[in-house]
Each structure stands twice: as structure tokens, then as C-alpha cells.
């Protein structure tokens, strides 16, 4: 099949590359010429494990090409995926300007029957909006269908998720269009659900909101654990053995960031309100999440006293491991609070440092965790990259001015860290520093 993919971000590029890998001819389109150039040279503009290799193979075998010309790509293909960004506006509602612009270009270029597949995360009713825009812009009355095909990939494992999705949701009001998209995905041999447009649009928001709810739920339990001397890691583990609850997304910590959960929950709140329903349940997910970075910095302050003149080392800046994405990353808020209070910040992240440097040039970026720890009064784990699991903590402790460890992701064993001579704080973990001899 000949496919155009508008938008070459995390969703669009991975989708395009995977469809090419399945043997389709794919035209990847972006309005950013730098991204298009990089892709045509075999360099992915984003970091995703396995993506460069797949991209290069499909370029070499001439199944994939990138361009800035969406109109030409529309004329050349029967199926056009819209994978452009839908960032939040100031009110928290998704900004649909990129979707609208792509739809208008597709409409103007319509030269025969096309299926326009919306993969961007968009509010309920956007499928109809895209249909109206195309109708308004098409020069001749060519037939077309709009399909909603929400994306569930996770950054950091986007290629693997796209090759092996849990489920494929295809929302279409016309069965003919739905069957064409079923055909496209058939080689993956994964469960497919065919729904109407509105259902597919709700499935995406309901799924992300539920996952965010699990995270905020366990963080609310973590707060109670801290007050009562209970341990949230054991609590979550015991809860998770119940198959109706499950272990996934029950890790207490700094909460969620990234380009999806915060924006999608906000958008869902707006949608629920727009339809005259009570959004309180969904609003609380954000209230709990928003409080996490401030609360974490407060724990550091409680330990160190004034933060002014103190040096804090941060391990991990990306919003989660295996990505260079820093959108809504907890690190950004934490750095903001630390700088506001006069602390000196040193940081290390395996891939996300250049992006943070563009926002915070005034902090020190280090070559590894050990360099970050040098002369620090506290070390704070922000993103649980795998390489932070097996650090030489004796070396870290010796490098620090004071051995204070703030584990924002509950990655480490508190007993072990205390035995190694650290004051250890984990989110919602029993604060047993009774044999603490590190207080200066």
C-alpha cells in the first residue's frame, strides 16, 4: 500500500518506519525541513531504541522517503495518516491548529478516493472536524473517509510497541475504510477493535486517564505511608498481586510527565465539562501529580535546612528512561524550585542534557553520575535510567560533601543505602533513619 504520514515526531516517524518495514511504500512528511533532511540521511531526529537501524534499512531498500510536501504526498497515496502534535493551549484544551492545517492541505490536494487516518490524540468530535475541513477545501467532489486510529506507543519502546501493540483500535463510520486499515495492520497479527469514530477517540483518553489515575492513586497512598510509617512499595506490591489491580503503574514517586498524560488528562477534564458532567475525579489526578516536585524539594529542604548555597546533584532529566523527551519532565520543575531557593544544581542524563541545557544553561552538566555527585550535599534520582541501578555507591558517597540520597523513583533498597552510610529518602517509604550517623 502507498501511505503518507504527516508529522515525523515520536508517533509519525515510528509509524512510517514500521509500515515501511511491513513492505508498504511510505512517504513521511514534516513541515520542518531539518527533520526531513535528517530522515533522508538515515538519522532519526528523535532518540528511540532500534529506530535508526529500521530507518536506514527502509531508506536503502527504497520503501521510505521524507518530504515537506504534504500536498504531493496526498496526491501520491491512498491512505494518509495525520500524526501531528496536539499540544495543550493555555486553558488545557488541545490546540488543533496542526491537525486543521494538515487537513486543509489534504483537502486541497484531493485527487481521488482517500482514507485520512487520525493518529494524533484529539478530542471527541475531531474526526468530524477533519471531515468538514477537507470538504471545505477540496476543489473537486472526490470521495474520502476519515478514520480514527489512536496510538498507544510508549516513548522509549516506541518501535517495539508499534511492531507488537496490545490492541489496534480502528474507529470508522464506513466499513470499507475500516477494512482497508485492518488490511494494513493484518501482518502484525494483533487484536483489532473496530468501533465508531467517537468511541475510538474516547478509548485513547480513557486509557491514558486511567493509567494516570493509577499513578496519582499510589502517590496519594505514598503520602499516607509517609505520615504513618508504612511502606508504599510493599503496599503496592501486595495490592498488585490481585489480578484485578495489577502491578503496572503502581510505582510511587515523582509522578508523571511527558507529552501525553498531563495534556491528555487536562483535555479529558475539558471534554467531560463540555458535555455537562462532573470532572472532579479526573481533576484530582492532576492536583496530586502537580504537587509531587514541590513536595520532593521540600523533603530535601527539611534535611538540609536552607537550600541556598547547597549543591544538589540530579540523576536523570528525561521525563522517563530511554527517551530524550523532556516535555513536562519532573526534572524541569525540580530544577526551577532548586534554583529559586538559591541551590547550585549539577545534573547528568545519558541523552536528555542538550534539551535541558537549552532551558537551563546556568546549571552544570556532567559526564556521568560520579561527576554529578562531586561535592554535592544531596543526590536526587529523578529518572530511573537502567545505568543508575548499578552505580558504585561507595564512590558516589566519597565524592559527595554530605551523603544524602533522595530517591524520587524508589529505585534503591533503603536498607542497603543506609548501610552504605547514606541518609536515604524514598517516596512513601518507611523513614527508618534511626541509625543515622550521617547528619552533619
Ligand X SMILES: NC(=O)c1ccc[n+]([C@@H]2O[C@H](COP(=O)([O-])OP(=O)(O)OC[C@H]3O[C@@H](n4cnc5c(N)ncnc54)[C@H](O)[C@@H]3O)[C@@H](O)[C@H]2O)c1
Q: Which is nearer to ligand X, 21 or 30 (CB)?
A: 30
Size of the site for ligand X (CB under 6 A): 27
By CB under 6 A, the residues from 145 to 184 that bind ligand X are 151, 153, 155
Q: Which one of residues 70, 124, 250, 353 is an interface residue with ligand X (CB under 6 A)?
A: 70
Alpha helix ranges (H) inside 166-324: 175-185, 197-228, 232-240, 261-274, 280-304
Compose the 185-224 pattern: x for residues touching ligand X by CB under 6 A, - for all others: ----------------------------------------
Residues 6 or more apart whose Cβ sits within 8 Å of residue 140? 110, 111
**Interatomic CA distance for residues 91 and 118, integer angstroms:** 23
Q: Is 30 in the site for ligand X (CB under 6 A)?
A: yes
Q: What is the 3-state secondary structure (H, E, C) of 301-342?
A: HHHHCCCCCCEEEEECCCCCCCCCCCCCCHHHHHHHHHHHCC
Q: Is 38 in the site for ligand X (CB under 6 A)?
A: no
Are 181 and 172 in contact by the 8 Å Cβ rule? The answer is yes
**DSSP structure string for 49-95:** TTHHHHHHHHHHTTSEEEES-HHHHHHH-SEEEE-----B-TTSSBP
Residue tagged active-site, from 28, 77, 83, 260 = 260
User: Has 260 been annotated as catalytic?
Assistant: yes
Q: Which one of residues 126, 148, 209, 259 is an interface residue with ligand X (CB under 6 A)?
A: 259
Residues 6 or more apart whose Cβ sits within 8 Å of residue 208? 121, 260, 261, 264, 265, 268
State the minimum distance, in angstroms, from the CB of residue 259 to ligand X: 5
Q: Which is nearer to ligand X, 32 or 394 (CB)?
A: 32
Q: Which one of residues 26, 29, 312, 411 is an interface residue with ligand X (CB under 6 A)?
A: 29
State the minimum distance, in angstroms, from the CB of residue 17 to ligand X: 13
Q: Is 39 in the site for ligand X (CB under 6 A)?
A: no
**Interatomic CA distance for residues 295 and 309, integer angstroms:** 20
State the minimum distance, in angstroms, from the CB of residue 402 to ligand X: 38
Q: Is 9 in the site for ligand X (CB under 6 A)?
A: yes
Q: Which one of residues 4, 7, 334, 346 is an interface residue with ligand X (CB under 6 A)?
A: 7
The DSSP element (H or E) to which 144 belongs, if any, is strand 144-148
Residue 201 β-bridge partners: none
Q: Which one of residues 52, 78, 93, 101 is an interface residue with ligand X (CB under 6 A)?
A: 101
How many other CB atoms are there within 10 angstroms of residue 437's CB atom? 8
Residue 314 β-bridge partners: 347, 380
Residue 381 β-bridge partners: 315, 407
* Region binding ligand X by CB under 6 A among candidate stretches 10-18, 50-58, 303-311, 388-396: 10-18
State the minimum distance, in angstroms, from the CB of residue 254 to ligand X: 18
Compose the 115-134 pattern: x for residues touching ligand X by CB under 6 A, - for all others: -----xx-------------
Are 51 and 58 in contact by the 8 Å Cβ rule? The answer is no
Q: Which one of residues 3, 102, 115, 184 is an interface residue with ligand X (CB under 6 A)?
A: 102
* Region binding ligand X by CB under 6 A among candidate stretches 29-37, 234-242, 356-364, 428-436: 29-37
Q: Which one of residues 27, 65, 77, 84 is an interface residue with ligand X (CB under 6 A)?
A: 84
How many other CB atoms are there within 10 angstroms of residue 111's CB atom? 13
Q: Which residues of 46-70 are buried (b: 16+ CB within 10 A; e: fewer)?
A: bbbeebeebbbebbeeebbbbbeeb
* Region binding ligand X by CB under 6 A among candidate stretches 23-31, 193-201, 267-275, 397-405: 23-31
Residues 6 or more apart whose Cβ sits within 8 Å of residue 85? 7, 9, 98, 120, 259
Q: Which one of residues 19, 98, 365, 406 is an interface residue with ligand X (CB under 6 A)?
A: 98
Q: Is 35 in the site for ligand X (CB under 6 A)?
A: yes
Q: Which one of residues 3, 4, 8, 200 is an interface residue with ligand X (CB under 6 A)?
A: 8
**Interatomic CA distance for residues 325 and 257, integer angstroms:** 10
Q: Which is nearer to ligand X, 7 or 316 (CB)?
A: 7
State the minimum distance, in angstroms, from the CB of residue 30 to ligand X: 4
Closest CA to 151 of 14, 17, 269: 14
Q: Which is nearer to ligand X, 300 or 326 (CB)?
A: 326
Phi, psi of 114 (to 5 degrees): -135, 155
* Region binding ligand X by CB under 6 A among candidate stretches 83-91, 193-201, 358-366, 367-375: 83-91
Closest CA to 36 of 7, 11, 3, 74: 7
Q: Which one of residues 4, 6, 203, 347 is an interface residue with ligand X (CB under 6 A)?
A: 6
- Just list the catalytic residues: 260
Interface residues toward ligand X, by CB under 6 A: 6-12, 29-32, 35, 70, 83-86, 98, 101-102, 120-121, 151, 153, 155, 259-260
Amino acid at each position: 500500500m502507498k501511505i503518507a504520514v504527516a508529522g515525523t515526531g515520536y508517533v509519525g516517524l515510528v509509524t512510517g518506519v514500521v509500515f515501511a518495514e511491513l513492505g508498504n511504500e511510505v512517504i513521511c512528511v514534516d513541515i520542518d525541513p531539518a527533520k526531513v533532511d535528517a530522515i533522508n540521511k538515515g538519522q532519526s531526529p528523535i532518540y528511540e531504541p532500534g529506530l535508526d537501524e529500521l530507518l536506514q534499512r527502509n531508506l536503502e531498500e527504497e520503501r521510505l522517503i521524507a518530504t515537506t510536501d504534504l500536498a504531493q504526498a496526498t496526491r501520491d497515496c491512498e491512505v494518509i495518516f495525520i500524526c501531528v502534535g496536539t499540544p495543550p493551549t493555555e486553558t488545557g484544551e488541545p490546540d488543533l491548529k496542526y491537525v486543521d492545517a494538515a487537513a486543509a492541505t489534504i483537502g486541497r490536494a484531493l485527487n481521488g478516493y482517500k482514507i485520512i487516518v487520525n493518529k494524533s490524540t484529539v478530542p471527541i468530535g475531531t474526526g468530524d472536524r477533519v471531515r468538514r475541513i477537507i470538504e471545505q477545501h477540496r476543489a473537486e467532489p472526490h470521495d474520502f473517509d476519515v478514520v480514527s486510529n489512536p496510538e498507544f506507543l510508549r516513548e522509549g519502546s516506541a518501535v517495539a510497541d508499534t511492531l507488537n501493540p496490545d490492541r489496534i483500535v480502528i474507529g470508522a463510520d464506513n466499513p470499507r475504510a475500516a477494512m482497508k486499515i485492518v488490511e494494513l495492520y493484518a501482518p502484525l497479527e494483533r487484536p483489532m477493535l473496530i468501533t465508531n469514530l467517537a468511541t475510538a477517540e474516547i478509548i485513547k483518553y480513557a486509557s491514558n486517564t486511567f493509567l494516570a489515575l493509577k499513578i496519582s492513586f499510589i502517590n496519594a497512598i505514598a503520602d499516607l505511608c509517609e505520615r504513618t510509617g508504612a511502606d508504599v512499595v510493599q503496599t503496592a506490591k501486595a495490592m498488585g498481586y490481585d489480578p484485578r489491580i495489577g502491578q503496572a503503574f503502581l510505582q510511587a514517586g515523582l509522578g508523571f510527565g511527558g507529552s501525553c498524560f498531563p495534556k491528555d488528562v487536562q483535555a479529558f477534564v475539558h471534554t467531560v465539562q463540555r458535555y455537562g458532567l462532573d470532572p472532579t475525579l479526573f481533576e484530582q489526578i492532576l492536583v496530586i501529580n502537580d504537587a509531587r516536585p514541590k513536595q520532593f524539594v521540600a523533603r530535601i529542604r527539611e534535611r538540609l535546612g536552607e537550600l541556598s548555597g547547597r549543591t544538589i546533584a540530579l540523576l536523570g532529566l528525561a521525563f522517563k528512561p530511554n527517551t530524550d523527551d523532556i516535555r513536562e519532565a519532573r526534572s524541569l520543575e525540580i530544577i526551577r524550585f532548586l534554583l529559586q531557593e538559591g541551590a547550585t544544581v549539577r545534573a547528568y542524563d545519558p541523552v536528555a542534557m542538550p534539551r535541558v541545557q537549552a532551558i537551563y544553561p546556568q546549571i552544570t552538566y556532567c559526564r556521568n553520575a560520579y561527576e554529578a555527585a562531586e561535592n554535592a550535599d544531596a543526590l536526587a534520582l529523578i529518572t530511573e535510567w537502567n545505568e543508575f541501578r548499578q552505580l558504585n555507591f561507595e564512590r558516589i558517597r566519597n565524592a559527595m560533601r554530605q551523603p544524602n540520597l533522595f530517591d524520587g523513583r524508589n529505585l534503591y533498597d533503603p536498607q542497603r543505602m543506609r548501610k552504605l552510610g547514606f541518609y536515604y529518602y524514598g517516596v512513601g517509604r518507611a523513614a527508618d533513619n534511626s541509625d543515622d550517623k550521617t547528619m552533619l
